Structure 1
Amino acid sequence: EGLLPTVTLSLAMGSQRMARKKALIKTLTSVETLGSVTVICTDKTGTLTQNVMEAKNFWSDGEIHGMEYLKNSALLAVIAGLCNNARFIDGQYSGDPTEVALLKAVRENVGDLEGERIFEIPFDSERKRMTTVNIIEGKKLALTKGALESVLPLCSHMLMNGKEVKMDERLREMAMDAYRSLTGMGLRVLSFAYRELKDRGTSTVNPDEMENGLVFAGLVGIEDPPRPEVPEAIRRCREAGIKVIMITGDGSRTAVAIAREIGLVKGEPVVIEGHEFERMGERELRERLSGKEVIFARMTPKYKMRVVSVLKEEGERVAVTGDGVNDAPALKKADIGIAMGVAGTDVAKESADMILLDDNFATIVNAIEEGRAVYENIKKFISYIFSSNIPEIVPYLAYVLFRIPLPLTIMQILAVDLGTDMLPALALGAEKPTRELMKQPPRSPKERLLNLRLLSRAYLFLGPIEAAAAMFGFFYVLNSGGWRWGEMLAADNHLYMQATTVCLTAIVVTQVANVFACRSFRESVFSIGFFSNRLIFAGIAFELLFQLFIVYHPLGNRIFSTRPIPLKMWLVLIPFAVMLFAAEELRKYFRAGRYRTSSP
């Protein structure tokens, strides 16, 4: 009777705990789904990293320099500062973090630049570049910045020591070597190019003309440091058997360098770049995804949908992050779609099941831990509630089979199910995750909540101890009052009513021990902290007060057909509670011993 409200409240309490940890759950069922996640497909920028960009190095004239020497490469500074939509207003920078980093580097090392913008081809994830047309000192210049593989093929010349030198294979290889050096440092690398347009007016601009025959000006490496909490979160994912796949628009060398820094990659990862991904067949993609460490680089949001679909077809439970409009299909397709609360669009948030209020990868791992805890807690209070079914059923079986007075009435059963058991069961739903919870592999989606192990523990181990206590108390009172076997007693007989009261009290007393026994399936209650869940004690206090009302108050006697019992009967029943608690602690001890023996 109390199972449905208890489950609902447990899910609600789990979602509240997640909200306090910066993870906002939109549907209660998603709380439980989180606990079975096997793969997390995560963005890099802003999720694994801080999204606090800073220009660190640049390459020009064949050498890598610190940003303090940017004033010596005037044209590179001009492109970085003017092919840029970031702004410095009232002492504050605003705009895309990458562009803010460039503008800040130019202002601090070169100064404010002037140039009238007359045209713009905005950046998009397909072209991987942005171009503006600016009037600078009377000249009309097309200024381009973007990914090296997008900009370098458009260049016919390279700026070397102030001169435009015709591009050849040696210069291309020089630029590629510099790119590899910068990305090897874990930097995001942008390339910069320009060309002077013949038409000096401001009315006509040919987009095709302006991005051909460019002069390559150099590279800038931008640092986006990892979040300090991420390495620990990645380690916890490994322990929990959760695979983390990085999906980023950055180059592969930058992605791998960051992945190594945060501990995502230990060996040689499977790296798939966007241009490979487009040509890759389903069979090959499945094989590559089966690798232990997988990184997708130079990816666009539209590719995420295919990755998620293949992983789900392979039987994985997938969580995927996203912040843009184009991420919405993948967020919908995933078992758990996770939108960014700070950088995310409204469309992404609407499509997601969970919103990260701090855009932090570590928050995802905390939410998965809470999801696992909720599932475990549901199993705990099911075990707790089901254990009391045996001492409720056994009296009726004994009544039918052995011709004895009925040891427990219907109202007394309801007193347990809807009265004394409710608050302790809810308190079990508030148990915090144990240390061992994230050291277990994800459960299978096919795993049943009511499995044989749980039912055996409740019905064949804990329940019989409670039933023994209840029947012992019932017969103890009857025999003390001179009852003879086979003698049937009237429902209002004082001795009979005392005996049923003791039977009910035995269930309540052993359920007090059972609530502690059910706080964990594996760890001793002393290792998780005997007093760590204060709601347990509040629930027990209510349970005992309610039982005292049933036993000793006239109204309780009238409603539940009970009679007051002497103190010694409580003392007779307490050893059964101690026995139940000790038996469960011994089971956990021997189970842990077997686990330690079997572990390498």
Structure 2
Amino acid sequence: MHGGEHTLAGREEVAKESADVIILDDNFSTIATVAKWGRSVYINIQKFVQFQLTVNVVALIVNFSSACLIGSAPLTAVQLLWVNMIMDTLGALALATEPPNNELMKRTPVGRKGNFISNVMWRNIMGQAIYQFLVIWYLQAEGKWLFAIEGDNSDLVLNTIIFNCFVFCQVFNEVSSREMERINVFQGILDNNVFAAVLGSTVVFQFIIIQFLGNFANTTPLTFTQWIASIFIGFIGMPIAVAVKMVPVDSA
């Protein structure tokens, strides 16, 4: 008996070391909590990847196509660096810290062979990317007429507006990315202080970059009307996201 107990104990040390998650008691509520947190981490990473891919796709296509067709890119290196900070560091903090909720237990488990980037994610990515791409191209083509921009620095003003619109598209898309399928993206938003702090600090730093760091970021201060227009253009991405979620796709 002693030898058998020793063997079983030895196997239990090997099993614990090779396990991804160790449950220290046999309480079912603990098992449910572990499952809920596991699903939460998985889905939060999916949300972040969806947000990240959207920004990458738009920035790459816009700058590449503009450079080929016009000869200049609307987003400078410093501006792209700031966008990457929003996308990577701040985006990860905001979306990967979403707390779990009981709705997660209603989802079907994801198998080992399941696609990490699901059809739902591709639908959301393409919907936002197409909207943002069309907006930026329209501003490049008609922005000076739309905002009545004239003078020697008209190109700088227009590029600053494009950069501002692009950033606010990401700000509101970050909110939309809180839910990949549900329409109400505001539910529980105040429960995540990190998300609110990241969103607020992004807007504050964007204001500072535009209004005070022109030499560094290759921007120029915008008028109140231009700011409101930039925020509104970014906000339109939210009803676009709602409309895109209405399109049925296979959730696999």
Fold equivalence (TM over 0.5): yes
Unaligned runs of 5+ in 1: 1-122, 127-299, 303-323, 338-349, 484-492, 596-600
Alpha-carbon distance in 2 for matches of 1:432, 1:548: 29
| Structure 2 counterpart of 1:551 | 210
CA 1:357–1:528: 2 relative to 1, 3 Å: farther
In 2, distance between residues paired with 1:523 and 1:450?
Answer: 17
How is 1:359-508 mapped onto 2 (pairs within 5 angstroms)?
Answer: 360-403=27-70, 405-419=72-86, 422-458=89-125, 460-479=126-145, 480-482=148-150, 494-508=153-167
CA contact (8 A) 2:36 2:105 kept: yes
Which structure dedicates a bigger proportion of its chain to strand? Answer: 1
In structure 1, how many angstroms separate the alpha carbons of the residues matched to 2:121 and 2:109? 18
Is the 8 Å Cα contact of residues 509 and 574 (structure 1) preserved in structure 2? yes
Separation in 1 of the partners of 2:236 and 2:143? 21
> 1:586 and 1:534, CA in 2 relative to 1: closer, same or farther beyond 3 A?
farther
Q: TM-score, normalised by structure 1?
A: 0.37
Per-residue CA deviations over 1:193-227 (Å, capped at 9, x if unaligned) read xxxxxxxxxxxxxxxxxxxxxxxxxxxxxxxxxxx
Letter paired with 1:498 = V
Cα distance in 2 for partners of 1:401, 1:351 equals 52
Structure 2 counterparts to residues 557-596 of structure 1, below 5 A = 557-588=214-245, 591=248
Task: Give the 5 Å matches for 1:46-125.
Answer: none
2:191 aligns to what SS in structure 1? coil
Conserved? CA contact 1:388–1:466, under 8 Å: no
Identity percentage of aligned residues: 23
Match of 2:9 in 1: 325
Q: For the residues of structure 1 that align with 2:235 and 2:204, how far apart are their CA atoms? A: 20
In 2, Cα distance between equivalents of 1:524 and 1:464: 20
Q: 1:47-88 deviations in whole A, cap 9, x for unaligned?
A: xxxxxxxxxxxxxxxxxxxxxxxxxxxxxxxxxxxxxxxxxx
* Equivalent position amino acid for 1:562 in 2: T
- The 1:545/1:476 distance shift into structure 2, 3 A limit, reads farther
Per-residue deviation, 1:380: 0.4
Q: Which amino acid aligns with 2:77?
A: I
Residues 395-418 of structure 1 show CA distances to partners (whole Å, capped at 9, x for unaligned) of 324424532643221221111002
The separation in 2 between residues aligned to 1:425 and 1:587, in whole angstroms, is: 23
- Contact 2:64/2:73 (CA < 8 Å) preserved in 1? no
Taking the aligned partners of 2:137 and 2:86, their CA distance within structure 1 comes to 21
Q: Which runs of 5+ in 2 are unaligned?
A: none
In terms of Rg, which structure is larger? 1
Distance in 2 (alpha carbons) for counterparts of 1:475 and 1:301? 77
CA deviation string 1:304-328 (max 9, x = no partner): xxxxxxxxxxxxxxxxxxxx61442
Q: Distance in 2 between matches of 1:544 and 1:527?
A: 18
Richer in helix (by share): 2
Shift of 1:509: 0.8
Give the residue type in structure 2 aligned to 1:416. Answer: V
Look up the match of 1:162. Answer: none
Q: Give the conservation status (yes or no) of the 8 Å contact 2:165–2:230.
A: yes
Separation (CA, whole Å) in 2 of partners of 1:365 and 1:377:
18
The letter for the 1-side match of 2:174 is V
TM-score by length of 2: 0.82
What is the RMSD computed on CA atoms of the aligned residues?
A: 3.2
Residues in 2 aligned to 1:451 and 1:327: alpha-carbon distance in whole angstroms: 38
AA in 2 matched with 1:430: T
CA 1:544–1:472: 2 relative to 1, 3 Å: farther
How far residue 543 of structure 1 moved from its aligned partner, in angstroms, is 0.8
Pair 1:557–1:482, CA change in 2 (3 A): closer
One of 180, 187, 200 as aligned partner of 1:521: 180
**Cα 1:526–1:477 shift into 2, 3 Å:** closer
- 1:465 Cα deviation (Å)? 1.6
Contact (CA 8 Å) 1:388, 1:507: kept in 2 or not? no
- When the two structures are aligned, how many residues end up with a matched partner? 249
The answer to whether the aligner puts 1:531 opposite 2:199 as a matched pair is no
Contact kept? 1:517, 1:581, Cα under 8 Å: yes
Q: Distance in 1 between matches of 2:106 and 2:38?
A: 14
